[in-house]
Amino acid sequence: MANTYFQFKQFTVHQEHSAMKVCTDACLFGAWVAKDEAIVTANSILDIGTGTGLLSLMLAQATAHSISPAQIMAIEIEASAATEAASNFALSPWKDRLIVKHSSIQAYSDTDNITVSEFVNNKNVIKQFDCIITNPPFFEGDLQSPDTNKNLASHSTALPWSALINEVNGLLKTDGCYYVIIPALRAYTMQKLATQNGIQLAEEVVVFNAAKQKPFRVFQKYIKNNNLISDIQRSNLIIKDLENKYTDDFVNLLKDYYLHL
């Protein structure tokens, strides 16, 4: 019987009741975002669709030694996943900086009382965030699963990308950063929607399982600023080399998180 948890070096992700489990591309994405200077210096971070809480936990670890570590708000629409994320947060070394809200992002942003009173020392109200991260529902118009919870996590019916960008625009501070992981074939769609809302692509990483395969994921970093960014940083990330071993880039990103790296 497979484990119902994933053990990292500094935290554990229990995932028995969450539709979307820990996966390699999400871990890579979290590690890539965690190295960004804007995350290290952020005071507030929003995780949209947190699932098990994986990305929030990775960012909490990465910012643990910052001068003023960020408060991290995680939003999750699916009830059992939200409960599991809250439990994972409570068991972590950073429980005083992490909170999960069981809500759609639309309902969360509409409320007049967006607070982090649950945080230690009763922190002030957060209306906008320095950084927003999301591993959004990928699929639109695809054949759905009979599992309702998996559909919420994987399909964009409850959160179309146009609605996601609208919420990001409202919840992100000017000059704040937005990070997203998406299928390679839909990268331009996300960029187009973001640009229409004054959120400009600043960096893009195309991810390959192996060197001779087609790309399957793209990591993107955006900045909320109406000034177009002409010098977009672009790079590739390959998970395994020709000998089917993890590449140096993969190891360097995940060595602080994976037990056996």
Is 110 a residue whose pLDDT tops 90? no
Is 234 a residue whose pLDDT tops 60? yes
pLDDT band at 140 (very low <50, low <70, confident <90, very high): low
Q: Which pLDDT score, from 0 to 100, does residue 218 have?
A: 98
Choice between 216 and 140, residue whose per-residue pLDDT is larger: 216
Q: Which pLDDT score, from 0 to 100, does residue 123 have?
A: 46
Q: How far is CA 9 from the centre of its chain?
A: 19
Q: Which pLDDT score, from 0 to 100, does residue 2 have?
A: 63
Q: What is the mean pLDDT of residues 190-213?
A: 96
pLDDT band at 143 (very low <50, low <70, confident <90, very high): very low
Is 154 a residue whose pLDDT tops 70? no
Q: What is the mean pLDDT of residues 153-178?
A: 84
Q: In the chain, what are the domains?
A: 5-254 (3.40.50.150)
pLDDT band at 139 (very low <50, low <70, confident <90, very high): low
Give the tens place of pLDDT for each residue, 16-72. Answer: 888 888 999 999 999 999 999 999 999 999 999 999 999 999 999 999 999 989 999
Q: What is the mean pLDDT of residues 161-188?
A: 96
- Lowest-confidence range among 2-6, 84-88, 117-121, 155-159? 117-121
Q: What pTM did the predictor assign?
A: 0.89
